[in-house]
Copies of this chain bind each other. A is one copy, B any other.
Amino acid sequence: MSGKEQQEITDDLRKFADERDWGQFHTPKNLVLALVGEVGELAEIFQWLTPDEAERVTDDPKVAEHVRDELADVYGYLLRLADVLGIDLNTALQEKMRSNAERYPIDRSYGSAQKAAEGQ
């Protein structure tokens, strides 16, 4: 159970912005810049951690809260951007995954960072 569905959350985000007359700021270019800002804050959490420390980053409740917070911010601007552009993220990603499944057949992609670099 993840509570509200993505579409409902998208609607809530739009309502939140509209109530504050922030829709004027939420142009596609501005939202991309805002997304960049939040991804930057996420990167700052991980920048000096060793790979091991990064794997265990959510062990400390305070840091876990920080990570949750930044992931939520990235996700929030991504949903706003998708909403403004009229794109459904879940649908778009499922289409991409179908195309990636064809592009990266298991037998020719197994364990390859090269292939991983192209698909996901």
* A window 64-100: CB within 8 A of B: 67-69, 71-82, 85-97, 100
A92–B97 CA distance with the chains assembled, in angstroms: 24
Size of the A side of the interface (Cβ < 8 Å), in residues, is 84
**Copies per complex?**
4
A11–B52 CA distance with the chains assembled, in angstroms: 24
A48–B13 CA distance with the chains assembled, in angstroms: 17
Closest B residue, CB atoms, query A117:
B48
A61–B100 CA distance with the chains assembled, in angstroms: 21
Contacts A95-B72, A117-B44: A67 and B54 contacting too (C-beta < 8 A)?
Answer: no
Chain A 84-120 per-residue mask, 1 if CB under 8 angstroms from chain B, else 0: 0111111111111100110010100111110111001
Q: Are A51 and B51 in touch, CB under 8 angstroms?
A: yes
Q: A5-B5, A13-B97, A33-B46 are in contact. List 17 more A-B contacts (CB 8 A).
A: A3-B91, A9-B90, A9-B97, A16-B97, A17-B120, A29-B49, A29-B54, A30-B48, A33-B43, A36-B36, A39-B39, A40-B43, A44-B117, A48-B117, A49-B113, A71-B78, A76-B97
